[in-house]
Amino acid sequence: MVNVIGLGYIGLPTALMMASHGVEVIGTDYNKELVATLNAGRTTFKEEGLDELFNNAVKAGIKFTTEYQVTDTYIVSVPTPYDKFSKKVDACYVVSAIRDVMKVCPKGATVVVESTVSPGTIDRFVRPAVEDAGFVIGKDINLVHAPERIIPGNMVFELLHNNRTIGADDRNIGEKVKALYSSFCQGEIVVTDIRTAEMTKVVENTFRAVNIAFANELAKICRHDNMDVYEIIRICNMHPRVNILQPGPGVGGHCISVDPWFLVGDYPSLAKVIDESMKTNDAMPDFVLNRIYEIMKEKGLSDIGRVGLYGLTYKENVDDMRESPTLQLLESQQRHLASGLKVYDPFIKKDVVANQYHNLDEFIDSVDLVVIMVKHNEIKENVEKLLGKVVLDCHNIIALPEVYHI
Ligand code: SAJ
């Protein structure tokens, strides 16, 4: 039986996927409300195909509880935030989950850490937590790191099809864990050592962060001299070895805006390109704020209450607001002791910020300038509703005469 610890964005789909492929699974989370919701038959976030997967897993017998189980295999998928000052990974949740597992697990158990951690975290924090509990690693407890790779918005498909990495001290244990993931994963599974697995995960997200930063920097250069960054990227990408990503209002989510900082935190004098890239991406919400100011001046608009931000989530067609550029922008505005921007997101049903609307028509009617912060399908399918409005399109998706870009 597999005990999945942490039933969030990664742990829940992983647990459901294993259960619906014949693995006996019990999911554990310390959040009583979350466990109660799952036990009442409801999922805790929206994701394409998740409800169906949930129903299959429930039929297959998955259980949810707040208790840690006595078993031979544990998968730890708890959050790994970064310390805002040092930029280093904050492994407190991983360590506390490991300590709790150590209280119940029998000798011979395998503990798989799925949470993203910086290279060396397992050596520095996880091994001591296991040893402090009186276990000998490799003899009593087997340690494995199997970082996840799935993208919010396409999680179920990617869980089934992405290649995976498994890092283990002992190759045989690595192969055993590979067999477990092979119950559902149709991609190639590479078995390597733990530190390599830790590093690959962080490097993958860093690669994307650096490339997004490059696109954002181009947008700023082009804005300065009034060049069309989108046309330039489109043409450059026709070169067989060039593939530039898209500029945007910032980078959100719990991965690309977080993981690269781990390398900056651990290697401050070496990770220069990464450091600059993260600063470039983090500065984008302020850049948008400044664009709003410029456009308001140009159009003679003076009432900030007639400016609306479309989108609160960190990217399109998900209900996840973690580190979202819109929240960053609103916070920056508050830091300048200003307020009043209107906000709307079709995926956010609760009131989470001031001046929030829950109906697209009412939102558009109440503003003169609409800022497209997130390219949800909803707005792409309702472009005509923006006719007559001034639009700042941060994603180049709106084909109307009076559209501004970042
Ligand atoms: N973004 C841009 N321009 C682009 C692409 C993305 O500004 O051209 C922005 C998005 O709007 C968003 C942010 O970047 O705010 C991140 O979005 P994303 O869709 O690129 O990635 P995430 O954070 O949802 O998921 C990433 C994925 N990593 C990679 O693609 C290398 C996913 O595979 C990982 O599993 C996930 O991080 C994770 O959990 O680490």
| pLDDT of 88 over the 90 cut | no
Q: Are 114 and 148 in contact (CB under 8 A)?
A: yes
> Is residue 237 helix, strand or coil?
coil
| Fold classified for 2-192 | Rossmann fold (3.40.50)
What is the fold of 202-282? N-(1-d-carboxylethyl)-l-norvaline Dehydrogenase; domain 2 (1.10.1040)
Q: Which atom of ligand 1 is nearest to the CA of 149?
A: 35
Place of tokens 């490097």: 203
Q: What is the average per-residue pLDDT within 305-322?
A: 96
Q: Whose CA is nearest to atom 40 of ligand 1?
A: 255
> Residue 86, SS3?
coil
Mean pLDDT, residues 175-187 taken together: 98
- Ligand 1 pocket mutation, candidates 206, 256, 319, criterion most atoms within 8 A of CB: 256
- The CB-based long-range contact list for 139-143 (8 Å cut-off, 24+ gap) reads 140/107, 140/108, 141/102, 141/105, 141/107, 141/108, 141/109, 141/110, 141/111, 142/108, 142/109, 142/110, 142/111, 142/168, 142/169, 142/170, 142/173, 143/110, 143/111, 143/113, 143/168, 143/169, 143/194
Is the CB of 151 inside a 6 Å radius of any atom of ligand 1? yes
- How far apart are alpha carbons 56 and 334 in whole angstroms? 45
3-state secondary structure of 323: coil
**Contact residues for 362 (Cβ-Cβ < 8 A; gap 6+):** none
Q: Cα of 342 to ligand 1 centre, how many Å? A: 26
- What is the per-residue pLDDT across 98-109, written as a single tens digit (0 to 9) for each? 999 999 999 999
pLDDT (0 to 100) of residue 66: 98
Say yes or no to pLDDT of 84 above 90: no
Please state which of the ranges 58-67, 254-263, 268-277, 283-292 shows the lowest mean pLDDT. 254-263
Residue 355 has pLDDT above 90, yes or no: yes
Residue 375 Cβ inside 6 Å of ligand 1? The answer reads no
SS3 state of residue 165 = strand
- Measured in Å, residue 344 CA sits from the centre of ligand 1 at 22
Q: What is the pTM of this model?
A: 0.94
Q: Is the CB of 205 under 6 A from ligand 1?
A: yes
pLDDT of residue 83: 87
When pLDDT is averaged across residues 183-206 and rounded to a whole number, the result is: 98
In contact, 274 and 210? CB cutoff 8 Å? yes
Question: What is the number of the ligand 1 atom nearest to the C-alpha of 116?
Answer: 40
Which DSSP state fits 238? T
Domain edges within the chain: 2-192, 202-282, 284-405
User: Which amino acid, 122?
Assistant: I
**What's the CA gap between 32 and 244, in Å, rounded?**
44
Instruction: Identify the pLDDT of residue 85.
Output: 87
pLDDT given for residue 389 in this prediction: 96
User: 13 in ligand 1 pocket by Cβ < 6 Å?
Assistant: no
Position in ligand 1 atom list of the atom nearest CA 259: 40
Distance 72 CA to ligand 1 centre (A): 34
Q: What is the pLDDT of residues 279-289, one digit of tens each?
A: 999 999 999 99
Task: Determine if ligand 1 sits within 6 Å of the CB of residue 204.
Answer: yes
Q: Please name which of 84, 82, 60, 79 lies closest in space to residue 2, comparing C-alpha atoms.
A: 60
- What is the CATH code for 284-405? 3.40.50.720
- Residue 345 — pLDDT band, cuts 50, 70, 90? very high
Q: How far is CA 363 from CA 49, 311, 329, 383, in A?
A: 30, 11, 18, 14
Closest residue CA from atom 27 of ligand 1: 151
Question: Would you say the CATH fold of 284-405 matches that of 2-192?
Answer: yes
**How far, in Å, is the centroid of ligand 1 from the Cα of 356?**
26
Confidence of residue 86 (pLDDT cuts 50, 70, 90): confident
Question: How far is the C-alpha of 298 from the C-alpha of 357, rounded, in Å?
Answer: 26
Residues serving a catalytic function are 201, 255
Report residue 123 CA to chain centroid gap.
25
Kindly state if the Cβ of 315 falls inside 6 Å of ligand 1. yes
The rounded mean pLDDT for the chain is 97
Q: How far apart are CA 73 and CA 180, in angstroms?
A: 10
Q: Determine how β-strand 164-168 pairs with β-strand 141-145.
A: antiparallel
Q: First CA to last CA across the chain, in angstroms?
A: 51
Expressed in angstroms and rounded, the spacing between residue 142 Cα and the centre of ligand 1 is 32
For the segment 238-266, the average pLDDT, to the nearest whole number, is 96
Dihedral of the alpha carbons of 333, 336, 339, 344, in degrees to the nearest 10: 0
Mean pLDDT along residues 320-332: 96
Q: Is 256 in the pocket of ligand 1 (CB under 6 A)?
A: yes
Using alpha carbons only, give the angle 140, 141, 146 rounded to the nearest 5 degrees: 160
Does the Cβ of 317 fall within 6 Å of ligand 1? no
* Residue 228 alpha carbon to ligand 1 centre in Å: 24
- Per-residue pLDDT, averaged over 2-23, amounts to 98
Q: Where are the beta strands (DSSP E) in 73-125?
A: 73-76, 109-113
